[in-house]
Structure 1
Amino acid sequence: MSFDARLEAATTEYQRLQKELTNAIEARQRLDSQLQENEFKLLKEDANIYKLIGPVLIKQDKIEATSNVDKRLDYIRSEIKRVETQLADLSEKSEKKKFEVVDLQRTYQAQVQQVSSSR
């Protein structure tokens, strides 16, 4: 593989990793929002709770609703952990690829300078 092709491949891979990293960050932010939306702590004990089923709101027992929300919160928290692991992995891979690209660019610049100074 030629030097130019290696540099281009490394740059393309770095851009792909950056896009994946951005998507993972957005996923993490969505999960944080979902976590906030599913809090029942502020409800009064006698508050009415309704569940949307299709186009209809159905009154729901607070214990059942709390159980459902707790399950949902557990799921969201496990997804947050998964995405955080993914973020750490992508960040590490992205940094390594960035250093590879920078190193290839330096080598390329040195070769260009060497060719132009030998003329």
Structure 2
Amino acid sequence: MSSLRELQHELETKTNNLSKLQKEIAKNHQVRKKYTIQLGENELVLKELDFLNEDANVFKLIGPVLVKQDLAEANANVRKRIDYISAELKRLDGSIQDLEEKQNGKKESVLLAESPYPLIGEKPSLTPI
């Protein structure tokens, strides 16, 4: 009977680990979505800045105040933001890929941990993932 409890405990532990991993993947997808939106907004700003003449006035919002900014400086700032966001998206893609690979391994581990139950005659109380 204790081996059955050990198996159940092992299954619960593996299922909890899998659940934590899935939450982390979901969180990374949310962050990736936010960065994707920011990238699109910054690319739109860059296109708008490209339409302006050299002598056009550009303002930057700093707190509640609009401060005049040089067009070249505004262009450089937007390009830096685009580079930063692109690098973060690349990093997140790698992180998500690693987490998904770990998730697949954990799923296999959970399935293997569930496999002894039909042999014993017990069904796990946990639903398969």
TM-score bracket relative to the smaller structure: 0.7 to 0.9
Q: Show structure 2 runs of 5+ residues with no match.
A: 123-129
Q: Which residue of 2 aligns with 1:110?
A: 119
Distance 1:33 1:87 in 2: 18
Give the one of 38, 42, 53 matched to 1:38. Answer: 42
In the TM superposition, what is the alpha-carbon distance from 1:109 to its structure 2 partner? 2.5
Distance 2:116 2:90 in 1: 39
The one-letter code matched in structure 2 to 1:72 is R
Give the one of 73, 87, 103 matched to 1:94. Answer: 103
- 3-state DSSP of counterpart to 2:52: coil
CA RMSD of aligned residues (A): 1.6
Give the one of 2, 15, 18 matched to 1:14. Answer: 18
Number of residues of Structure 1 aligned to a counterpart in Structure 2: 113
Q: Which residue of 2 aligns with 1:29?
A: 33
Distance 2:47 2:84 in 1: 18
TM-score, normalising length: structure 2: 0.81
The one-letter code matched in structure 1 to 2:108 is F
Does residue 1:58 correspond to 2:67, yes or no? yes
TM-score, normalising length: structure 1: 0.87
In the TM superposition, what is the alpha-carbon distance from 1:102 to its structure 2 partner? 1.4
